Structure 1
């Protein structure tokens, strides 16, 4: 059994992870939080104490760390005795943090695919560009590495696996739909790191259609979805991590990701992009200063964590799965609804951070218990979905299923 957690990152998702680890520290042990900005880590520690979140007596400590420095990360893992590392820092860190886990034998969990800061929208499948190249290293070292254990990717991968195993004999399509029907009250902001957020949308939109990769422009393909709780919402075909693993692992002929955007977001995004302000390539100012436009935009936008106190409304995220069961066509929508205000009251973060962070803690608990401690690399859809979803039902993200007129909560007992 593995114990003691090192959380990499100190944003809104890290805050959720810290609180949920504290609520389950009888299973997970000591908690350590590390990022380049020590004050942010200390603020998270203070918030855990303020809400009296620790279930049992135990340590929760903050550390300064540049996680791009593999030697420093390795040393911190060894010094803290962490056996599970939850990486919720920038997606640029994945390979460095994984290297430190390989050096120490600690289990690795992340919530997003690795990105090279110098490249946008690489050739699919994206996991094959970095993470999957290191499968052999993980297996040889006996290191567990759980990839994409957030909500999307993460819970939606488990939903697809559950549908594949229990609801269908064959699946024709998986449409992952992500709707944030909440409001933060700001003129313009992103719900997580603006740099990562915008990078998702400035390149090609890759989807898996008819057994091959298809490319579109962002906001080129949209449609209205009628969903539980949030009602009718416009969403657009968008490139996303889970498309790149589900298409290859479950062998479904059509895997698409749809994200909801309002007209105001699209207008502001379009202006920024057309002005070149979303470029990741450096430019020189008239004064001879070299700056990256995207980083400048990130610097002037609100910190996503600052949105939480005023956020209202709900999210609805799930998988619309179509296929055949017992010779008959079938369609199910497996989903979760989360509330921004409830998330803030519980852990001090908004609902987007909550949905991303809670599944990573569930994955850590399954690694700690041994159920998901594989000694190799795996995406979530390669793992048994029932223990994961059952645990999530208990710790804050219950799963529901809608089929025809019937809409009910799923039990995994």
Structure 2
């Protein structure tokens, strides 16, 4: 029993420590290999060709921001494109606003669904109606940078094996502590992880809020799954298991709204965690084949994170039981307050945040002023990650097969 408890504590400490070093080293390798010396974002390199591109924006109750979103899509510096907006059974004035915008933007087309069919179905219908072979998909509250399509297409025209390119989401709303923490998270956690995963060959997921797809690749894997709670994670895995390449392009910026209430953040992160578990449960058997071996690192990384979450919960439960029951010394957890382990993890996390901030200054010069707030992030992130994973795993495990994932309006934060 003593040995098991020791292993539990060692794993809870060493997993985040090791992964921080993996992400930092991978992020630095990516920067030195692909980012350093690149042209400025506003001066992208010329492309060999400029194929026609379809910009897709699925919308559900986006009346407050859909005009701004369409305006940014129409302002792309890329020469040849169209815009398809899908009004997915909105109950507000989204449909009416989109119809009014048809007169302002001749490159805009609108598809209306009578009822809520879900984002995956909206993407499917738009892909089938698209005139372009390349699809740039954004969310209905996102503001796409005017040069983003050009940077995404740089990868598509460079290799016929590129099935998707994921962009660089940036947080728009930063008026609260949760907003500031998420600015640092998207830079030092999400951006750094994508860089590291790109270095070792496979990306866990494209960013659903901004991603470019080759339509023939999407057709090859059967389009987006309508029964997965996170269609972006699912299609990322299916593309890569069919040997399509996924790349990360940090110059393809997209400004997004994120939750700034605990309730909204909780719902979002439970959905993300459930989506990851659903993918692991659905595709683990296929991953056992040798031809899919390049997917093993990201699969193992996610499985280890699941084990870590339950290890943390076990430690907390032992501490709570020790408050009310006499436990054997081998099971006694005296305190949850940070000891030297916690101090070391905190220092490594701050180093990670510092490295990511220095890399990201290329895309947002004032991102470093959020570094002060990131001292709170390790505690917030670990608690949230642990709790959402523990809740999401049984939800994914006992989810009824074939249930369609439909829209639920998220928390858009304080603006």
TM-score (norm 1): 0.31
Bigger CA radius of gyration: 2
Structure having the higher strand fraction is 1
